[in-house]
Amino acid sequence: MSTLSAADTRLTTGFQPEIQGLRTLAVALVVLYHFWPWHLSGGFVGVDIFFVISGYLITSHLYREIVREGHVNLGKFWARRIRRLLPLSFLVLILTSIAAVILLPATLWQATYRQVMGSAFYVQNWLLASDAVDYSAQDDAATAVQHFWTLSVEEQFYVLWPLLLFIVYWLVSRRGRPSPDRLRRVMITALALLGLASLVFSIAFTAYDPAQAYFVTPTRIWEFVAGAVVALALMGRQYHGRLANLIGWAGFAAIVISGVLYSAATPFPGYTALLPVLGTVALLACGGRERFSGIYWWLSRRPATVGGDLSYAIYLWHWPVVLLAPYAWEAAETWQGKIVLIAGVVLLSWASKITVEDPWRRSRLLASSPRTYTMAASGMAFITVLALLMPTGASAVRQSDAVSTASACYGYQAMLNPEECDPLAGDKDPNPAVEVVAQQAKEPAFPDCQAEMDAEGLPDCRLGVDRESADKVMAVFGDSHGTQWLPALNSMAHKENIALEVYTRSGCTPNVADLAAEADGRDQELNELCTESNRQIVDKIAGDDSIDVVVVGANQTDRDYVNGAGQDFEDPTKEGFIEPWSTWMARGKDVVVLGEIPRLEQGEVDGPTCVAENPDDVELCSLSEEKSFPRTQNLRAAAEGIDDERFHFIETKDFFCRDDSCHALIGGIVTYYDKSHISHTYAENLAPEIAKRFKESGVL
């Protein structure tokens, strides 16, 4: 049986051309995945190839320097990395920033420039990880610089790795300078333990929170370690021969298979990342150079190595092109258009390599480390200023022609006066601007008034006037679609001398029956927390004799409910709403249910973005009533069966819809800050009409 042995190794030269071919494979996977995600659904594994290669090359370099010099010149090492990577990345960030304000809807500016700054400081991966657990940011569209998250991970590796290796060397050399072999063995052991810990964490965290695990650095460290251990174990040697060549081809196959079979549904980067990582390790360690049959022979041929030479530039340029091109060219999303765009990316990458990447890396002006650091700091400062000022300046220019808030046709007034006003008139810019409205998704009108899904205990929020001087006390109960009415209710409360107490929870429908285990595919602990919170709120409101009115608001939902302990509902979904209302009415309280509002779901496009993309024809952003209510209106269904003088159902559909059409822009106000929540501005604009309907119902 053939086995690998030391006799099968061959000492390589300093330059390994097959690594350039491996880089070509990596960037090809990423680019094809981004252009045709449905055809190469796992192309994201190309990133993992880059991580392993970086671990291999950087560790080889640092180990040799430590053995030769007895230390690592951190200043020079980091300066070389800066000269190699930052000039072109800064250029891409600057040009992408300019293109974004020209091509993108204004609603996407804020997220784009926030990530531009994160990319300039190489913390982009942590921003994306933060967004992954932020309820208000989970549905954010990808930005034109989102791909910089991988470069952020790489840069963090470049900062930490030389420090880590030197610490290992320092610990080993306290009793005298170690031999190279002993140092190498200790480093392999230390790094292997680190890699194992990172892999275990990656597997566990990916299972717990895959969205966040994808971006954070600790879940990726083991991939760099894999390359580092190969570098230290072989020290410039590679296995060759028939068996080694078969292993090399098997590694190539592992990478391709993962690229073809993996998808967004694959838990990653946990244990599934082992396939492309070990495939890359196999290619770094094993292969053959025989003509045609040798894997190294193929990876060392041109144009494979040319792709590797351009891989960094291609990676930087391709994603802004993928994201921005459709806004400038109608054919960008056809297969012919994509071929043209890929060719353009390659040409742009070649041009930027010979005019920016190579000259800056070899620049005599930056030969000294202090000058290099000055360049880096200046670039970061310039990009920060650009990212802060550009969207602000563009918004100011547009707002100079915005509709006046004093207009008799502003907001809902346009719906009340159709003879004098055109509710959808687009001759003036919206006020506030669409990008301001879109930002309301992340900026609650009343912070801390809504409990997050996983928050323990009950929210404690008081609006309106003080209880002591109030004529009435009103409680608000619901999910985020109860919270969305707070600007209107608070404005009404101040005018009508009402104290408001808010009991709302994100994603928690105000129903006291148990959520079915499969509801929304959410963690059952969240479902149980929601139900328990609702029951506590019901009891608290029922036991407070000072509360006169309870206002209930909720989203359209298809969630299924079942009987909980001690419950015997015939229809838990319906009766789980009604029971709290009956309890409160029996205690002498009025109950006001605000009907579900329409949802303006235009595919992936939300209301503000649609308005921004169609300023001259905002009717394209309207939907029929049928399409605006894709889910069950459980509040309405439950309310239809109640006949009690203390119960009041207030219709809200007509705030948004006329003649079977529901609108994203009314009287110069963008009505939604996302696909389903009322913008703070429009909600407050509705306050007089809300108060009128409360009075008509006899509540006020």
Q: Are residues 350 and 460 in the same domain?
A: no
- Please check whether residue 420 lies inside any domain of the structure: no
Say yes or no to pLDDT of 282 above 50.
Answer: yes
Per-residue pLDDT band for 627 (boundaries 50, 70, 90) equals: confident
Residue whose tokens read 């045709």: 36
pLDDT at 406: 67
Q: Are residues 350 and 227 in the same domain?
A: yes
Q: In 3D, which of 17, 4, 39 has the Cα closest to residue 250?
A: 4
Are the beta carbons of 112 and 104 closer than 8 angstroms? yes
Within 10 angstroms of residue 645's Cβ, the number of other Cβ atoms is: 8
Give the residue-averaged pLDDT of 41-48: 97
Domain encompassing residue 120: 28-387
CA angle 13, 14, 15 (to 5 degrees): 90
- The gap between the terminal CA atoms of the chain, to the nearest Å, is 91
- Please check whether residue 401 lies inside any domain of the structure: no
pLDDT at 363: 84
Number of structural domains found in the chain: 2
Q: Are residues 478 and 557 in the same domain?
A: yes
Are the beta carbons of 4 and 243 closer than 8 angstroms? yes
Q: Helix, strand, coil % (nearest 5) of the chain?
A: 60, 10, 30
Give the residue-averaged pLDDT of 476-481: 94
pLDDT at 519: 59
Domain boundary among 363, 387, 411: 387
Residue whose tokens read 């008799």: 408
Q: What is the C-alpha separation between 599 and 260, in angstroms, rounded?
A: 36
**DSSP class of 502:** E
pLDDT at 564: 81
pLDDT at 367: 74
Dihedral angle of Cα 329, 333, 335, 341, to the nearest 10 degrees = 50
Q: Which of 192-196, 600-604, 688-692 is the least confident region? A: 600-604
- Please check whether residue 620 lies inside any domain of the structure: no
Q: Are residues 189 and 296 in the same domain?
A: yes
Q: In 3D, which of 67, 41, 317, 331 has the Cα closest to residue 182?
A: 67
Per-residue pLDDT band for 7 (boundaries 50, 70, 90) equals: very low
In this predicted model, which residue has the larger pLDDT, 3 or 553? Answer: 553
pLDDT at 305: 93
Give the residue-averaged pLDDT of 462-476: 94
Q: What is the C-alpha separation between 581 and 367, in angstroms, rounded?
A: 75
Are the beta carbons of 319 and 146 closer than 8 angstroms? yes
Position 420, amino acid: E
pLDDT tens by residue, 163-174: 999 999 999 988
Say yes or no to pLDDT of 487 above 50.
Answer: yes
Q: Are residues 108 and 205 in the same domain?
A: yes
Dihedral angle of Cα 269, 272, 277, 283, to the nearest 10 degrees = -160
pLDDT tens by residue, 628-674: 887 778 888 888 878 899 999 999 999 999 888 899 999 899 999 99
pLDDT at 97: 94
Say yes or no to pLDDT of 136 above 50.
Answer: no
Secondary structure of 580-621 as H, E, C letters: HHHHHHHCCCEEEEECCCCCCCECCECHHHHHHHCCCCHHHH
- Please check whether residue 617 lies inside any domain of the structure: no
- Taking CA atoms, 230 is separated from 18, 55, 191, in Å, by 15, 9, 11
List Cβ<8 Å contacts ≥24 apart for 388-392.
388/113, 388/117, 390/97, 390/98, 390/101, 390/109, 390/113, 391/101, 391/106, 391/109, 391/110, 391/113, 391/435
Q: Are residues 381 and 453 in the same domain?
A: no
pLDDT at 634: 81
Where do runs of H (alpha helix) occur along 444-596?
480-483, 486-496, 524-542, 572-586
pLDDT tens by residue, 548-600: 999 999 988 777 788 888 888 888 888 999 999 999 999 999 999 999 999 88
- Please check whether residue 543 lies inside any domain of the structure: yes
Give the residue-averaged pLDDT of 509-533: 80
Give the residue-averaged pLDDT of 48-54: 98
pLDDT at 518: 63
Residue whose tokens read 């399409």: 627
pLDDT at 176: 80
> What average pLDDT is seen over the chain?
89
- Please check whether residue 160 lies inside any domain of the structure: yes
- Please check whether residue 197 lies inside any domain of the structure: yes
Say yes or no to pLDDT of 407 above 90.
Answer: no
Phi-psi region of 264 (alpha: psi -120 to 50; beta: other; left: phi over 0): alpha
Q: What are phi and psi of 97, to 5 degrees?
A: -60, -45
Q: Are residues 355 and 227 in the same domain?
A: yes
Say yes or no to pLDDT of 134 above 60.
Answer: no
Q: Are residues 488 and 368 in the same domain?
A: no
pLDDT tens by residue, 96-125: 999 998 998 888 888 899 999 999 999 999
pLDDT at 135: 46
pLDDT at 11: 45
Percent of the chain topping pLDDT 90: 62
Q: Are residues 352 and 496 in the same domain?
A: no
- Taking CA atoms, 257 is separated from 43, 65, 250, 307, in Å, by 10, 37, 10, 21
pLDDT at 1: 40
- 329 alpha-carbon distance from chain centroid: 26
- Reading the block at residue 345, the tokens are 């990316």
Domain boundary among 387, 405, 429: 387
Percent of the chain topping pLDDT 70: 93
Per-residue pLDDT band for 438 (boundaries 50, 70, 90) equals: confident
Query: What's the number of CA atoms in the CB half-sphere (13 Å) around residue 398?
Result: 20
Q: Are residues 379 and 484 in the same domain?
A: no
Domain boundary among 348, 363, 387: 387
Q: Are residues 338 and 478 in the same domain?
A: no
In this predicted model, which residue has the larger pLDDT, 8 or 667? Answer: 667
- Please check whether residue 373 lies inside any domain of the structure: yes
Where do runs of H (alpha helix) occur along 400-421?
413-416
Q: What are phi and psi of 634, to 5 degrees?
A: -65, -35
Q: Are residues 365 and 463 in the same domain?
A: no
pLDDT tens by residue, 226-276: 999 999 999 878 888 889 999 999 999 999 999 999 999 999 999 999 999
What's the CATH number where 577 sits?
A: 3.40.50
